Structure 1
Amino acid sequence: MDRTEKRNFVTSLAAIFADTSFVLVARNDGLTVQAVDKLRRQMKDAGATYKVAKNRLAVRALDGTRFQAISPLLKGPTALAWSADPVAVAKTAVEFAKGNDKFVILGGALGTQSLTLDGVKALAELPSLDTLRAQLVGLIQTPASRIASVLQAPGGQLARVFKAYADKDAA
């Protein structure tokens, strides 16, 4: 990379860090090309981005952002992953790390909060954003369905009483 490419890369990475809410740092020493491709596909399916970046350039991009606390993690062969949904990145990375011992999660940052490996694993255990939205919609719909059943109950009781009288008169 020449200086212009490096400057553009740092600028684009800094813009990404300004827009995202979570950044994961992992060591990818010894991963095969097939394994990295598989991880990139899984990250893309989860709505995340996985990128191997030069540590020196990544540290420059992190300078002045809320993720500056992860700069000490950028030593050796590292990769970054980020997304607007922090749970999706954490889940994908933790699942991939279970099946591949050469992919080691070092930590990450959720906003200004720095996370260790245990913090990333705890984040991965949370339900995803889509699941939380579905649960919220379910909670909102539950009172409405209960109100509808309560309002229908008196009408149903009256219908059963009238039917009982009709059956009694018919007999």
Structure 2
Amino acid sequence: MAKTDKSAAIAELADAFRGSNAAVLTEYRGLTVKQLTELRTKLRGNATYAVVKNTLTDLAAKEAGVTAFEGQLVGPSAIVFVDGDPVDVAKSLRDFAKANPLLVVKGGVLDGRALTADEVKKLADLESREVLLAKLAGAMNASLSKAVYLFAAPLSQAARTVDALRAKVETEGPAAAAAPQDTVEAPQDSAPADVQDAPAEDVATGGDTA
């Protein structure tokens, strides 16, 4: 490969590292062209599966500040450059590897943090971003429903009161609606009738006369 071609390839790989949400290093030794095409189809929309040259990839990774693959770029290598949901990509790799054991996940990098092969596999056990967003939306809708109910309850109560008054007016006339709903009882500690009817001077002197 000419020097200019190598420089261009390194620059392209470095840009791929920088522009990806994550990257996963794999070894594809023994996989057929058909199997690799199937893998690319599974990853489509979330990631790009690129067969790479180890030496150029090592230089490109260093240029992009990625150190996760140091010492692992040996044998037939291919890198999954993730531009979608890393969890979905990890699930696709796990499912494909179950059916095609020759695909070996060697490690990865996520948000600048190196991942071991086991950590990439554990990533596949997490819930995807879409599932988490759906759960969050469900929780928010439930909260909003409660809020709507609380706001609507006083309005419903007021509407029932207005309807009751309207029915009372229709049956008993306008005066009935204006009348107080509760009667006020006389205080329990009011004075006896005989004291109330006594002359003012008797009440003032306790009822004794000179």
- TM superposition score normalised by structure 2: 0.69
2:4 pairs with 1:17: no
**66-75 or 54-63, which deviates more:** 66-75
Of Structure 1 and Structure 2, which has the larger fraction of its residues in helix?
1
Tell me which residue corresponds to 1:28: 28
SS of the residue 2:31 aligns to: coil
Tell me which residue corresponds to 2:54: 55
Tell me which residue corresponds to 1:69: 68
| Rounded Cα–Cα distance in structure 2 between residues aligned with 1:36 and 1:53 | 14
Match runs of 1:22-171 below 5 Å: 22-45=22-45, 47-84=46-83, 85-156=85-156
Paired residue type of 2:52: A
Tell me which residue corresponds to 1:169: none
The count of residues paired between Structure 1 and Structure 2 equals 163
Return the index of the structure with the highest Cα Rg.
Answer: 2
List runs of 5+ in structure 2 lacking aligned partners: 168-210
- TM superposition score normalised by structure 1: 0.84
User: Once the 2 structures are TM-superposed, how far is the Cα of residue 10 of structure 1 from its aligned partner?
Assistant: 0.7
SS of the residue 1:81 aligns to: strand
Paired residue type of 1:38: E
Task: Give a deviation string over 1:26-46, Cα, whole Å, max 9, x none.
Answer: 11001011100000011114x
Task: Give a deviation string over 1:132-168, Cα, whole Å, max 9, x none.
Answer: 22223333332211111222334556778979xx9xx
Paired residue type of 1:22: A
Paired residue type of 1:110: L
SS of the residue 1:82 aligns to: strand
Task: Give a deviation string over 1:84-123, Cα, whole Å, max 9, x none.
Answer: 3321221111111111011111111113321112100111
Are the equivalent residues in 2 in contact too, given 1:24–1:89 (CA < 8 A)?
A: no
SS of the residue 1:109 aligns to: strand
Task: Give a deviation string over 1:44-100, Cα, whole Å, max 9, x none.
Answer: 14x111011001110010014342221221110111002133212211111111110
SS of the residue 2:149 aligns to: helix
Specify which structure has the bigger relative contact order, considering alpha-carbon pairs within 8 angstroms and separated by 6 or more residues.
1
